[in-house]
């Protein structure tokens, strides 16, 4: 069972990671804007530097999960998704735009996906803690 949970988590992490390189990811622009507006902090490197770094780490976690280093992949996934949850609760907000289009519809879906991935990563980490 844990193998299939790890593979499902790995596929999710790969999906999220690849989007950072080929998809429309407005979240990083929102983080930059909210930091500037709410805190007066200008961090223009968040998009693209943090976006690409996050994508690389997500793809790395996916590879670890899918190709047998499940404990390490689950720990890395916990860290990545934990960071996403913290971003949602602080500077991003629960509801995020569903695309980069102006006035795009917002949804809490991304936040709930992060919560779900965190739970699965925690479960895989727990179940794999003595097998690695």
Each residue's pLDDT tens digit, 114-125: 999 999 999 999
Q: Give me 101's structure tokens.
A: 């289009």
Structural domains in the chain (count): 1
Structure tokens at 27: 């979240």
- When pLDDT is averaged across residues 31-52 and rounded to a whole number, the result is 88
92 near 118, Cβ under 8 Å? no
Residue where the block lists tokens 């968040």: 46
> What's the average model confidence in pLDDT over 8-22?
95
Tokens of 23: 């998809």
Q: Containing domain of residue 92, as a range?
A: 2-128
Asked whether 91 and 15 are in contact (CB, 8 A), the reply is no
Other CB atoms within a 10 A radius of the CB of residue 41 amount to 11
- 98: which DSSP letter? S
CB atoms under 10 Å from CB of 44, counted, come to 9
Q: Is the pLDDT of residue 81 over 80?
A: yes
Whole-number Å distance between alpha carbons of 23 and 101: 13
How far, in Å, are 35, 39, 92, 131 from residue 115 at the CA level?
23, 26, 15, 25
For the segment 83-107, the average pLDDT, to the nearest whole number, is: 87
pLDDT over 70 at 61, yes or no: yes
Check pLDDT > 70 for residue 132: no
Q: Which two tokens stand for residue 58?
A: 């997500």
Contact call for residues 108 and 95 (beta carbons, < 8 A): yes
How confident is the model over 19-28, as pLDDT tens digits?
999 977 888 8
In this predicted structure, which of 10-19, 30-39, 82-91, 95-104 has the lowest mean pLDDT? 95-104
What is the CB neighbour count within 10 angstroms for residue 40?
A: 7
């Amino acid at each position: 069972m844990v193998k299939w949970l790890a593979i499902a988590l790995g596929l999710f992490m790969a999906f999220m990671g690849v989007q950072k390189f080929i998809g429309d990811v407005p979240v990083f622009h929102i983080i930059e804007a909210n930091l500037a507006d709410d805190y007066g902090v200008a961090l223009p490197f968040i998009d693209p530097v943090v976006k690409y770094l996050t994508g690389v780490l997500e793809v790395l976690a996916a590879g670890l999960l899918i190709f047998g280093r499940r404990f390490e992949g689950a720990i890395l996934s916990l860290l990545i998704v934990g960071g996403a949850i913290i971003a949602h609760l602080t500077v991003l907000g629960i509801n995020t735009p569903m695309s980069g289009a102006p006035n795009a519809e917002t949804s809490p879906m991304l936040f709930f996906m992060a919560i779900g991935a965190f739970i699965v990563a925690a479960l895989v980490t727990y179940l794999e803690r003595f097998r690695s």
